[in-house]
Amino acid sequence: MSDNGSQNDVTLSNLIQSDTDEIHDDREYINENRLVVFIKLAKEGKRNFKGTFTDEEILDVFNIRRNKHLTKAGALIFSEYPQMYFPQLSIHAVKYPGYEVGEVGTNQERFLDNENITGSIPDMLEQAINFIKSNIRVETIIVDGKRTDKYEYPMTALREAILNALVHRDYSSLNERAPIKLDIFKDRIEITSPGEIYGNFNLDQLSSGIQVTRNDNIVNILEILKICENRYTGIPTIRKEMKNYGLPEPLFISRNNQFKVIFYNNNERSSKSIASSISNIRNSKRTDSELIEFCKIPRSRQEIKNFYNTKSNGIFSKKVLPLVKSGKLKFTNPEHPKSPKQKFVINNGN
């Protein structure tokens, strides 16, 4: 594979020299064709590579391997089954019969289709697209005298969202046990990946083309393979495709250590679902100052839950009790903090 035909050519036997402490593999688990294509494209795309670096050195340069062993990035892209090392780095795809998890179909079924999608990043991308195509509506239309399929959602936008989830998810040990979730409901598709927006950036900055990448090695490799192109245009592309399709603008939500994209169809309940989602996002972002202001008069537990538009009691340990501990709020009945009649009020003495 090298330009001079030397013994530096990459073979699977000398690429992986495994021991029990390292990621290891052998010939049957490596996508050799993809590896050959990558090196060829790397030499074509980087003029200073050809004749300068051997094939093995190119793999080192792009952090596909280190010390003769595959890196996590290398395994996720070039291994036929990286889940042998990272079992949860997959896509859990479900087609639900209703509008929410837990609703059952006419035969009491909890889901209509269910698949744990595994394989390399390129393979999971294509499998996820196929799962969506088999679980959404499609009609045959005539365009310029040719029959073509028109799916319920723009596939370009969905492909972009799935690719973004695979490329930009948090692969650290903190989240490596969490799969990407692909959920299809009657009125929407939700794609949820572990990890919020990376760094000190917000959605508006990403939408305007701010360049921020959590997994540089993965992005660089996939760009050379022409799987991931036009870096930093993902969110604008998704919005444009949905608009051209005549569908509502998608929602992008970064919170609770997750990043979620929601695609709505033209189901009659979609507008209500969008309004509810936006309301939940706004309420979840209420600041401590807003809560303190709200508690200028004593507030019950139910009033505070209504303030956050939630039914969960978890809001007290997350939002209220830290303010009590810091002295900014206080109990109206401090001797019985768990009393059902307990209320919370601003501590003017603080």
The predicted-structure confidence for 3-24, as pLDDT tens digits, reads as follows 444 334 443 333 333 222 345 5
Q: What is the pLDDT of residue 20?
A: 26
Helices and strands (DSSP H and E) totals, the chain = 14, 13
CA distance 274 to 187: 10
Is residue 186's pLDDT more than 90? yes
The continuous run of DSSP H or E covering 21 comes out as: none
- Of 241, 56, 90, nearest to 179 by C-alpha is 90
Kindly provide the residue ranges of all beta strands, DSSP E only, lying in the chain, ordered along the sequence.
65-66, 69-70, 91-95, 113-117, 138-143, 146-151, 180-184, 188-194, 251-255, 258-264, 299-300, 329-331, 343-346
Burial class (CB in 10 A: 0-12, 13-18, 19+), 234: buried
Q: What percent of the chain has pLDDT over 90?
A: 45
CA distance 328 to 343: 14
**Could you report the per-residue pLDDT of 262-312, keeping only the tens digit for each?**
999 987 665 566 656 655 655 556 778 888 888 988 999 988 888 877 777
Q: What is the pLDDT of residue 181?
A: 97
Structure confidence at residue 92 as a pLDDT band (50, 70, 90): very high
Per DSSP, 318 falls in state I
- Of 134, 150, 126, 142, nearest to 245 by C-alpha is 150
Topology of the domain covering 91-212+226-284: Heat Shock Protein 90 (3.30.565)
Rg (CA), the chain: 25
Q: What is the pLDDT of residue 315?
A: 83
- List the domain boundaries for the chain: 12-79, 91-212+226-284, 288-346
Is residue 201's pLDDT more than 80? no
Q: What is the pLDDT of residue 22?
A: 46
**Could you report the per-residue pLDDT of 143-154, keeping only the tens digit for each?**
788 888 889 999
Q: What is the pLDDT of residue 279?
A: 56
Is residue 72's pLDDT more than 50? yes
* Cα-based angle 205, 208, 211 (whole degrees, multiple of 5): 70
Mean pLDDT of the chain: 82
Average pLDDT over residues 229-246: 83
Q: Which of 48-62, 250-264, 269-283 has the lowest mean pLDDT?
A: 269-283
79, 25 Cβ separation under 8 angstroms: yes
Q: What is the pLDDT of residue 4?
A: 41
Average pLDDT over residues 56-67: 88
Q: What is the pLDDT of residue 213?
A: 77
The most confident of 42-46, 300-304, 315-319, by mean pLDDT: 300-304
96, 52 Cβ separation under 8 angstroms: no
Q: What is the pLDDT of residue 214?
A: 83
- Of 184, 180, 195, 185, nearest to 119 by C-alpha is 180
CA distance 245 to 261: 17
Structure confidence at residue 242 as a pLDDT band (50, 70, 90): very high
Q: What is the pLDDT of residue 184?
A: 97
Structure confidence at residue 66 as a pLDDT band (50, 70, 90): confident
